Amino acid sequence: MKNNIEDMTLEEVQYLIKRIEKGTLDESRDKEESQKKKENGQRLVLKLIEEFGELAENIRKNMRFDGQNIKGTIEEEVFDVFYYIVAIANYHEIDLEKIFY
Ligand SMILES: [Mg+2]
């Protein structure tokens, strides 16, 4: 894993998001594992749809990142959509670099 986020490969970004999302899964380890895993997969899709809605709103309002505060901007929501796309790929054990090529 590289120290600079700018130098990260897609594979490394995917691994990083997998580590972040694993925390969410670990919380539910003891409670009906497979049902919780399925619910987590559905949660990721619902979050993606939610983030698309936020992206649409910020595009409609033309809210751009000014270099100071990214909250409520198109840039923030593009990242959020990307994050959940990667998390969904991880959930289904899809290697994004492999399918990209
Ligand atoms: Mg968002």
Number of domains forming the structure of the chain: 1
Q: Which residue has the tokens 């698309």?
A: 52
Residue 76 lies in a domain: yes
Q: What is the pLDDT of residue 26?
A: 65
Statement: residue 94 has pLDDT above 60: yes
**Distance (Å) from CA 32 to ligand 1 centroid:** 29
CATH number of the domain at 32, please.
1.10.287.1080
Q: Is residue 31, in this structure, part of any structural domain at all?
A: yes
| Domain that residue 76 falls in | 16-100
The pLDDT assigned to 43 comes to 96
Distance 81 CA to ligand 1 centre (A): 8
The model's pLDDT over 12-22, given as tens digits with 9 standing for 90+, comes to 999 999 999 88
What's the CA dihedral at 9, 80, 74, 13 to 10 degrees? -10
Q: Is residue 6 part of a domain?
A: no
Distance 5 CA to ligand 1 centre (A): 20
CA distance 47 to 25: 15
pLDDT in tens, 24-68: 766 655 556 888 888 999 999 999 999 999 999 999 999 999 999
**94 falls within a domain:** yes
Say what the pLDDT of residue 82 is. 97
C-alpha 80 to ligand 1 mean position (Å): 5
pTM: 0.80
Query: Is position 23 within any domain?
Result: yes
Give me ligand 1 centre to Cα 47, in Å.
Answer: 9
CA of 37 to the centre of ligand 1 (A): 23
Please indicate, yes or no, if residue 84 is contained in any of the structural domains: yes
